[in-house]
Structure 1
Amino acid sequence: MTRSAQEMHAYLVNQVNLMLRRLGMFGGEPALWTLFDHLFFLEGDDHGVSDLHESWRERNAFTPTGAQGALRRLLPDTMRSALPSMYAEAARHRGWLDLDRTLTPDEYARLRTAIPSFVEDDRTWSEVVEAFGQPSVLFGSTNRLYEKTLAYATADTSDPMVVFHLWNGVDPGAQSSWPPKYQEPILLAIRCGTGSFADTFVFSPEGTRRRPPEDKLS
């Protein structure tokens, strides 16, 4: 029996949500392109992925190596959880993203107001959650030792998601990749907005220390 278009759409939306949360298990950015392309096609948009990438390219958020290339200009190479947060923003605007928690307008306003002072000091995963509550979406492992990205969002898609990039790992040149440097991930940057890609980031002291050289190429 052939599935209906509605059944196929619901199935693919569910796959999007699974993939975004644990992208490493599904094949990385090219797998997202394919899945998004299928959903755009079902919705009658034959150029959805190319239009999305072009909108990112105009903001310097997409390179010949994809969105991951743009992220590598600002965050350590080992930050794998950052990439799905970008595609999650696009999914949210299409109505595909399922949020685990929705912020109220007051909670969102307080979060946005707190960003400049919050990044003045280094913060841990626990401190982010203590300050702002559980995220709307967690990208990456729930294991406290691994890097991860947290996103906070309201039900209003005109409110940009606020994304916290948290890193853990070892210093360059370390003899062993385990155990990681910190007991839990530490905040590198908060990202929010739709302007020039680099300008949507604000960095913590640790994020500034670990930011790649400005002349790094993708």
Structure 2
Amino acid sequence: MTSDPKLRRTVTEVHHYLLGQLNSAIRRPGAFGGEQTLRLYLDALTFVDNREQDWHQELAALRDRGASVSTGVTGAVHHALGAKAEDVMASVFAEIAHRNAWLLLDRSLQRAEHDHIRRTVDAWCSRNQTLSGTLAEFGPPSIVIGSNNPLYPKTLGYGTTHPDQPLIFLHFWNGTEPGAASTWPPDHPEPLLLAARHPGDRFIDEFVFTPTGAHRRQQLGATT
């Protein structure tokens, strides 16, 4: 191996590499090592960009609103939903990346599209909804977090390129009922909407549960 300084990566190259890795890890948290990996990539990226103070403030804000507990964001999600959900956990870090212009969107919504979803998503959650029905209603998302398998749980995020316009998340679940043995295929022909999530004073207040989501949360004994 050579140590020739002329052959070392530039700061710009390191930034682009970390940016790509962060965005891949947000989309597929299970394949990249979960929350710890997301924290490490964000920590490294803020160091390269000389923005460590911003990162520390983001972490403090997570704790203050209950989005991170002694077991991290993963634990806060578990409290809120009654079960672990890596796609929901990763969506919290996607928010941070978006606020800091580090999230690379697959589709950027026009402001009018984004405003429409913000106005109507709570009413959409008043009834049970499916993944296909939600896509038909709101269109292709800005980001998909979770497996590409259409049967698996996942989170859809909708946003614009403007960091001051918050992402709107829709969290979907599929599987077996609590206490039942895991089976394949899962119980439902496609994922069901558990909740929408958009900014709130407390983490739990950010969730707007569908009837399915509220029932599942009760079954699982969510504590928040």
TM-score (ref. length: structure 1): 0.94
Moved more, 39-48 or 204-213: 39-48
Aligned length: 216
3-state secondary structure, aligned to 1:90: helix
Residue from 57, 64, 85 that aligns with 1:58? 64
Distance 1:120 1:214, change over 3 A: same
Q: What CA distance in whole angstroms lies between the structure 1 residues aligned with 2:82 and 2:187?
A: 14
Unaligned runs of 5+ in 1: none
Distance 1:176 1:198, change over 3 A: closer
Alignment-derived partner of residue 21 in structure 2: 15
3-state secondary structure, aligned to 2:141: coil
3-state secondary structure, aligned to 2:30: helix
Amino acid at match of 1:197: F
Residue from 21, 28, 34 that aligns with 1:28? 34
Unaligned runs of 5+ in 2: 1-6
TM-score (ref. length: structure 2): 0.92
Are 2:43 and 1:37 aligned? yes
Larger radius of gyration: 2
Matches within 5 A, 1:1-218: 1-211=7-217, 212-215=220-223
Moved more, 62-71 or 173-182: 173-182
- Give the RMSD, CA atoms, in angstroms: 1.4
Q: Find runs of 4+ consecutive structure 1 residues off by over 6 angstroms.
A: none
Shift of residue 44, structure 1, vs aligned partner: 1.2
Q: What CA distance in whole angstroms lies between the structure 2 residues aligned with 1:199 and 1:65?
A: 20
Structure with higher helix content: 2
Distance 1:169 1:214, change over 3 A: closer
Q: Provide, for residues 136-166 of structure 1, a one-character-per-residue CA deviation record: whole Å limited to 9, x for no partner.
A: 0000012111000000001222111100000
